[in-house]
Structures are given as structure tokens and as C-alpha cells.
Amino acid sequence: MRLQRDRSLLLMIDFQAGLLPVIEGGLQVIEEAAWLANVAEALAVPVWLTEQYPEKLGGTAAGLISELGEHQVWQKHHFSAMEAPEFAQALKAQSVQQVVICGTEAHICVLQSALGLLEAGYSVYWLSEATASRRCEEARFARERACAQGAIAVTADMVAYEWLDRCDTALFKEVHRRLLKPRSSRGVTFF
Amino acid sequence: MRLQRDRSLLLMIDFQAGLLPVIEGGLQVIEEAAWLANVAEALAVPVWLTEQYPEKLGGTAAGLISELGEHQVWQKHHFSAMEAPEFAQALKAQSVQQVVICGTEAHICVLQSALGLLEAGYSVYWLSEATASRRCEEARFARERACAQGAIAVTADMVAYEWLDRCDTALFKEVHRRLLKPRSSRGVTFF
Amino acid sequence: MRLQRDRSLLLMIDFQAGLLPVIEGGLQVIEEAAWLANVAEALAVPVWLTEQYPEKLGGTAAGLISELGEHQVWQKHHFSAMEAPEFAQALKAQSVQQVVICGTEAHICVLQSALGLLEAGYSVYWLSEATASRRCEEARFARERACAQGAIAVTADMVAYEWLDRCDTALFKEVHRRLLKPRSSRGVTFF
Amino acid sequence: MRLQRDRSLLLMIDFQAGLLPVIEGGLQVIEEAAWLANVAEALAVPVWLTEQYPEKLGGTAAGLISELGEHQVWQKHHFSAMEAPEFAQALKAQSVQQVVICGTEAHICVLQSALGLLEAGYSVYWLSEATASRRCEEARFARERACAQGAIAVTADMVAYEWLDRCDTALFKEVHRRLLKPRSSRGVTFF
């Protein structure tokens, strides 16, 4: 039930330049997704991104890309990432069982991808402060629907502390100093 | 789990002239139900309506009927549509597994119909912005009760994008231009 | 899943004179419980009351008793009515499967009775506008806990319309005129 | 489903001096946890405390310790108490099936401990007014996640009255006079 870093992957759905300006909380979702991606990088958790129809909606927001270390980008035309066979196969090839999902819009591409992941047998963790829609109430409906079908709503702090597991390691101390502590007093909205 | 247009039916419960004026959100439920009916029509999803005791409560609101394309109307005296044998049999004759339900009052006829559909083995999708009661809190209790027994709360946007499945088709482009885009910035209350 | 009047019983827990003055919503719970008891009486649904330690907390509030027709009163010392063997046995002797429960305090005697009923195999319907506690947030926690363990949260209007089943009977017309209609525009708080 | 005092243990997670000042509701959680610990003591329910990395975060808050009777303290470095083998084994050696959990931070050490307890087969009762985080919304997400995985959200009053079971005993009268009654009109926030 707890997240384990060697079985996890962080999946960022459609954080695209052409979408974010109309999202309620668009600035925050980028900031919090980037923060967790930094934690993931420190812990060797893979970071994957999708882009919906980038020829029309633009690529991933520059403000997010500039914060990322190693990552992989997938383009898609179906709203659900799992409908793209190359994505589904590549995911299957990873030793991943737990997918932490975030992105926009919560009730379209994130939700459909989450449902596809659940159907394929993955555990899905819905990152509440980095998953949003144009209407924030609609993001809440998306989260509740995903959870009703088996997803687990989490916060970035929950994920980080579960990946870290214990506090008496050099790794914890470094991540705490560089990422956990600076964020601890930051105000956050959970969608 | 996701909605599929070739297995779906849109069921509108008792949007009647004699009921709507006392419903909290009565104007909105008509507008949003009509919008999704237009999406359904574009995607060849059948649209069915019920009327409760029309000799007393009046027929379906004219403002809704005028927006509809092809549709079928069923009259009933039980609060649950599924108690009317001709309705239940006609539904069984369709190749339908997923029923998107909306209407008034949420906690009486919509709820009882939803429970009847669930008992009969259908998947029930509760359309949150088009299902209301006189007291909006009571509509929420109805939704939560239906969901506790297996229904899935959805928004009109969720339904439309799941029915459409992908964005690189002529059909998507037409529906997007004509229906999705014009509604995207509209304020909506979810009951 | 729907309530049926020939399998139902209305159970009122500890609406006692010595408790009600400190309950948030104490006046309303009496009024709404009495209203549903009147519907129950019209439909021949049995109405049972319990009293916790009446030698200390006083009997059932006079304002409720005066509204009731035929009813049965049980006294108890355990917080859960189901711990009183004579109550549990008498209930078993009835042809009852669905218990609509209400009363005070939600998080003590109503909750414990509800859990006992669920353990004994009854379907429990938690009457939201007539079940309250000193702190209304605590009544909500009680309702959510009961529901997490299988109870179903309902409103008085839901119960009445499910018991009535259809609108084209003389019985419906009489209950509608005398009870449903006069209450329809009344403001109600759901706990 | 109801709590039974001879199968229960009260587990207080990391109420530490170095953590509490930044917790939203830090003063209340200490007060309410101490209150329930007093009830536990009166009923011979064991009270256990954990301390996370006390060499850094300080020991248990003096304001809580001074209120406690007999209790046992466990130190840990994993966020989940169940990852400490000596804790897990000692718990197994008790005749305990129901663990009432509270503490800080809700979404880190309390949550991870709760999930570990659930995995090990214990029933977990999440004490809502004594379990908090820096951000109170995040405590709510923690509670809801624990509950989605089988924990049961409770209030201190619920726990006390279930442990007491009935009102006609000398024990009830003493606990009522000394603890239940004085707290009954106190305002409480449930996280």
C-alpha cells in the first residue's frame, strides 16, 4: 500500500503550454510537479511525460522542462496514454507497479489514463496538488471517480516520505535539506 | 470503466415543466442536459426521456425538447423507470451497457431509476451538472447514495471526451468546434 | 436496494427530553422524525422508540410523542439497542429487513445501534435530517462511519417516495396532500 | 466493528516537542490525545507512544507526558512504526486487535504506521481530533487514504462510549463524571 521507490514511476500528463493558462491552479501544478520530479530524480524514480497533440497544443511548458533532469516524453492522440501501444508496451517493460500520476486536464487525459492504468493492473496514485482542470470542481470529480475505481489520492509530501522510508540515511538528509524542508511551509492547494 | 459511445445511452428523467421551476439549478440542468444530448446526437448515442405522470406534471420542458434531435419518450407512474416493464424490455433490446442518467428530482425518480438500473446489471453514470432536486443538498445525498451502490459520478465534459476517445478525427474536430469549445469557459455547478 | 414498506421499520433512538436541548439541530430532528413517523403510520410501517436510561435522562420528548400514532418503546442501558436481548429478539420476530434509523446522539447510541444492526444482517438506512449530536461535525463522522460499514445515508423524502413506490394510487394522493406537499418547501439541514 | 476495551490499544505517534509548534491544531491534538489517554487509563487500555528520531526532533511534548499514567515509549527511525521489528513484535505479543491511532504528522508517520498496521491485519481507528499535519487539508487527505484502505475514522467520544459499552455501571459513572461530562461542551475541530 505504501509507495516504494524501486517500484514507482512518476507520470506527468499533458502539462502543455497551450493548456496551462486556462487551468485553475495552472501555475501551482507546474511548480509542485517539478518539485516531485526533483525528488524522483534524487531517488532514481523514472519520470515520464506525455503530450497531447503537441502540433496543436504546444509542447510541455518550458517552466516545467527546465526543472527536469532525465525524463522521457511520449506523444499521443488518444486522451488516455494507455491507448498508445508504444507507451503501454514501454511501461510494461519497466519493473514498475506503482504509477504516481499528475497533469492536466484532470477530468480528461489524466482521468482516462488513470482508468487505463487501473484496468491494466497498475496501482495508481493521484497527485492531488499537481492535477487540475479548468474548473477546479471538475478536477475533484475526476479524483473521486478515479479513487472510486481503485486509485489512491496522495499529496507530494506523502509520496516523498514513502519513497524515502526512513530518516537516518544520508539520502534522506540530502533530500530533506534540499527539497523537503524548503517546501514544508509553502501554501498548497489540493484539488 | 471509461464510457464507450457504442455501448451508451443517455437517459433523461422527468425534465418536466411542472417540476423545473422549483428545482435549485433548474435552468442549468436543462441547458447542460441539452448540451450533452447534442453531443450524443453527433455520436449516434441514443437519447431517451421519461415523463412522470405527465397528465399532472406536464410534458418535458419545451426549452429542452426544442434542443433535441431524435429521441424517445417514455411515460411512467412508478418513480423508477425500471418498474415500467415496457421501458425495461426496450432497454434490454438495445445493445446498451452504460447508461448516463440525469434529471429531476435527483433523490426521487433519478435515484430510484439508477438503483433499478444497477440491480439490472447496467453501469450507471450520474451526470452531476444535470441532476438536481429542490434542495441541492438532497441531490448530493442522492448522488452519494447511488455511488455507494455502484454508480459513477461524471461530468458532461468527461462523458463527451470518453465518447470521443481521441482528438485526431474529423468527428472530434467537428464536435470540438461546435460543442466542446463554446462550452469550455462556461461556469457550471456540479450537484 | 430501494426501501420497501412491507420490509421496513422506523427506529427512533433516544429522542429524550434530557438530551435534546444540547443537540445542534435538536428542534429539527424532532420535527423531521415526527414527519416520517406520520408517513410510516399511513403506510403501516412499524415505529419503534428507544430510551436510554430514562430514570436519568427523562422519557421521550413530549413534542415527539404527541405526534406519534401507534408505536412501541424500549428502554435500555447499553448504548447499542442491539445489546438488549429483548429488543433484538422482538426485532427478529418481525418480518423486517430494512431499518430506518434516526435519533440522538448520532455518534453514540445511534451509531452503536446501527453497527449492531449491520452485524446482525439488517440493512440500515441512516436518516440524515433526524440524526444529530451535540457537535454537528461529530454527527457527520458518525454517518460516514456507519456508511463505510454498510449503512446507507438517506433523507426523509427518499424514504417516503420509496415506500410509496408509485404516484397513481389513492394512498399516494392522500400522503402527498397531507404530508409530502406541505413539507416540500421546508428548509432542512442534513447532518 | 465497535471498539472493545479488552482488545484495544491507544497508539500515539510522534507527539514531539520539535514538531508540534508547526502543526495546524498542535495545541488541540495534545489536549484531546491526553483526554483519551486518561479514559484509556481508567479502562486499563494500554497506551503506547512513538518518537521519531528524538535526538533531532526532541522527545514527546512535556504537556502530554505530564498528563499520562502508565505508558510505553518506542523510538524509531522509519516513518512507519511497523517497520521497527521490536515494536511490531511487542504489539503482536499483546492481545490487541484494535488500534486507536493518533499523532503527527497525519500524512507521514501516522499514515505510514496506519497502513503498516492494516497490512498486518489490525483494525485501525483514526482519531480525527488528535491527528494533524502542518497543513490541515493534508491531514484530511491522510485520513481519507487510510480509510480507503480499511481504517475507520472515529472521534474521541465515540471511542470512549464504545469502550464503556453501557451506562449503568460504577465505572461509567466515574468516567462520566470525571472525563466525559467536563469535555462534553468543549469545542473540537475534527481534521
Q: Domain for residue B117, yes or no?
A: yes
* Yes or no, beta carbons of D83 and A128 under 8 Å apart: no
Structural element, H or E, at residue D112: helix D111-119
Q: Domain for residue D131, yes or no?
A: yes
Instruction: Supply φ then ψ for residue B80, to 5 degrees.
Output: -85, 125
pLDDT at position B7, please? 98
User: With contacts defined as CB-CB under 8 Å, which chain D residues touch A1?
Assistant: 115, 118-119, 149
pLDDT at D25 over 90: yes
User: With contacts defined as CB-CB under 8 Å, which chain D residues touch A98?
Assistant: none
Q: What is the ipTM of this complex?
A: 0.96
In the structure grid, which three cell numbers stand for residue C30, read together? 424532532
pLDDT at C27 over 90: yes
Q: Is A77 on the interface with B (CB under 8 A)?
A: yes
Q: Domain for residue A9, yes or no?
A: yes
Tracing cell 442491539 back to the chain, one arrives at C82
User: With helix as H, strand as E and coil as C, how does chain B read?
Assistant: CCCCHHHEEEEEECCECCCHHHCCCHHHHHHHHHHHHHHHHHCCCCEEEEEECHHHHCCECHHHHCCCCCCEEEEECECCHHHCHHHHHHHHHCCCCEEEEEEECHHHHHHHHHHHHHHCCCEEEEEEEEEECCCHHHHHHHHHHHHHCCCEEECHHHHHHHHHCECCCHHHHHHHHHHHHHHCCCCCCCC
- Pick the residue from chain D with its C-alpha nearest to A143: D141
pLDDT at B1 over 90: no
| Residues written for chain D | 191
Percentage of chain A modeled with pLDDT above 90: 98
User: CA-CA distance, C162 to C10, in Å (whole number)?
Assistant: 14
In the structure grid, which three cell numbers stand for residue C87, read together? 429488543
Asked if residue A133 lies in contact with residue A105, where contact means CB atoms within 8 angstroms, the answer is yes
**Residue D103 pLDDT level (bands cut at 50, 70, 90):** very high
Q: What does the pLDDT look like over D111-138, one tens digit per residue?
A: 999 999 999 999 999 999 999 999 999 9
Q: Domain for residue B74, yes or no?
A: yes
- Tell me whether the omega of the peptide bond preceding residue D105 falls within 30 degrees of 0, making it cis: yes
pLDDT at position B139, please? 98
**Number of structural domains chain D divides into:** 1
Residues β-bridged to residue B176: none
Mean pLDDT over the full length of chain C:
97
Q: Domain for residue A82, yes or no?
A: yes
Tracing cell 412499524 back to the chain, one arrives at C46
Pick from D102, D39, D28, D97: nearest CA to D69: D39
* Yes or no, beta carbons of A138 and B155 under 8 Å apart: yes
3-state secondary structure of C126: strand
Pick from D99, D1, D190, D45: nearest CA to C80: D1
Q: Alpha carbon C180 to chain centroid distance?
A: 17
Q: What pTM, to 2 d.p., does this model score?
A: 0.97
Q: What does the pLDDT look like over B88-127, one tens digit per residue?
A: 999 999 999 999 999 999 999 999 999 999 999 999 999 9
Buried b (16+ CB within 10 A) or exposed e, A140-159: bbbbbbbbbebbbbbbbbbb
3-state secondary structure of A130: strand
pLDDT at position A43, please? 98
pLDDT at position D46, please? 98
User: CA-CA distance, B154 to A130, in Å (whole number)?
Assistant: 21
Pick from B147, B130, B141, B133: nearest CA to B37: B130
**Residue D107 pLDDT level (bands cut at 50, 70, 90):** very high
* Yes or no, beta carbons of C141 and D162 under 8 Å apart: no
pLDDT at position C1, please? 87
Q: Domain for residue C185, yes or no?
A: no
User: CA-CA distance, A125 to A107, in Å (whole number)?
Assistant: 15
Q: What does the pLDDT look like over C31-50, one tens digit per residue?
A: 999 999 999 999 999 999 99
Cα four-point dihedral sign B13, B17, B21, B27: positive
Q: Domain for residue A118, yes or no?
A: yes
In the structure grid, which three cell numbers stand for residue C191, read together? 447532518
Which CATH number does the domain housing residue D114 bear? 3.40.50.850
3-state secondary structure of D102: strand
**Residues C41-62, mean pLDDT to the nearest whole number:** 96
User: With contacts defined as CB-CB under 8 Å, which chain B residues touch C161?
Assistant: 79, 107-108, 112
Chains B and D touch (3+ CB pairs under 8 A): no
pLDDT at position D1, please? 87
Asked if residue D39 lies in contact with residue D175, where contact means CB atoms within 8 angstroms, the answer is yes
* Yes or no, beta carbons of A165 and D79 under 8 Å apart: yes
Q: What does the pLDDT look like over B13-67, one tens digit per residue?
A: 999 999 999 999 999 999 999 999 999 999 999 999 999 999 999 999 999 999 9
* CB-nearest partner of C2 from B52, B77, B115: B115
pLDDT at position B45, please? 98
* Yes or no, beta carbons of D128 and C108 under 8 Å apart: no
CB atoms within 10 A of CB D16: 23
The B residues from 121 to 180 touching A (CB cutoff 8 Å) are 128, 147, 152-155, 157-158, 161-162, 164-168
Domain span at residue C97 reads 5-178
Helices (H) and strands (E) in chain A, counts: 9, 6
What tens-digit pLDDT sequence spans chain A (191 residues)?
A: 899 999 999 999 999 999 999 999 999 999 999 999 999 999 999 999 999 999 999 999 999 999 999 999 999 999 999 999 999 999 999 999 999 999 999 999 999 999 999 999 999 999 999 999 999 999 999 999 999 999 999 999 999 999 999 999 999 999 999 999 999 999 999 99
CB atoms within 10 A of CB B96: 18
Mean pLDDT over the full length of chain A:
97
**Residues C105-127, mean pLDDT to the nearest whole number:** 98
User: CA-CA distance, D177 to D157, in Å (whole number)?
Assistant: 14
Q: Is C79 on the interface with D (CB under 8 A)?
A: yes
Q: Domain for residue A187, yes or no?
A: no
For residue A142, give how far its alpha carbon lies from the nearest alpha carbon of chain D (Å).
Answer: 15
For residue A38, give how far its alpha carbon lies from the nearest alpha carbon of chain B (Å).
Answer: 31
